[in-house]
Structure 1
């Protein structure tokens, strides 16, 4: 079971890193005007609008992989036994000690001394 969780976790990590890289590479809608003035966007590897289409589809696929791996990790995390391995569960409960209240003081014992 630990091997499956490790594989899913590594898939999630790699898809997250790839998504971050693809999102940073993409141009916003306002960058199209800059490409008209010679920034070289129309002469790219994928053509004038091909890179935006390819990058957005790849980002959507990576987002789906990330989402599915997150759901799988949550599912396998809930299948484990009731002990979660928490530090707080390892500490034994302190014994409960009941104290008997003292009898109320009478007369002269209630007068403060100077």
Structure 2
């Protein structure tokens, strides 16, 4: 589940970057720089938003939601014991087992 969320998170991040890069800035219109009448309204000269701005907002919400979900999963995730960190005890157990087997094979 964690790996699937990470892949979706990466795809959402790349989509968000792409959508932001292809959008035109608010000051890029020639009329907006000279103070045309419609650019001073509440939503600006482009209206309440077109497809790109709405999809960017949806991807931004998905990005933050996935960030919170992945952060919650990784905070509550317990690490499995790494077998390479505890080699001494396994080696000692193997030596004890081999010495016990060797003692059983010594003839009287």
TM-score range, shorter chain: 0.5 to 0.7
The reply on whether 1:26 has 2:23 as its aligned counterpart is yes
Query: How many residues align structurally?
Result: 73
Taking structure 1 as the reference length, what is the TM-score of the superposition? 0.53
Give the distance between the partners of 1:69 and 1:15, measured in 2 at CA.
9
CA-atom RMSD in angstroms: 2.8
The reply on whether 1:11 has 2:8 as its aligned counterpart is yes
Gaps of 5+ in 2: 32-44, 88-108
> What is the SS of the residue equivalent to 1:21?
helix
Give the distance between the partners of 2:79 and 2:8, measured in 1 at CA.
26
Taking structure 2 as the reference length, what is the TM-score of the superposition? 0.56
> What is the SS of the residue equivalent to 1:27?
coil
Give the distance between the partners of 1:84 and 1:66, measured in 2 at CA.
31
Give the distance between the partners of 2:53 and 2:81, measured in 1 at CA.
39
Question: Which of 73, 82, 91 is 1:76 aligned to?
Answer: 73
Give the distance between the partners of 2:70 and 2:15, measured in 1 at CA.
19
In the TM superposition, structure 1's runs of 4+ consecutive aligned residues that sit over 6 Å from their partners are none
Q: CA deviation at 1:67?
A: 0.6
Give the distance between the partners of 1:53 and 1:65, measured in 2 at CA.
19
Q: Structure 2 vs 1, CA of residues 14 and 73 (structure 1 numbering), >3 Å: closer, same or farther? A: same
- 2:63 is aligned to 66
Gaps of 5+ in 1: 35-47, 93-114
Question: Going by fraction, where is helix more abundant, 1 or 2?
Answer: 2
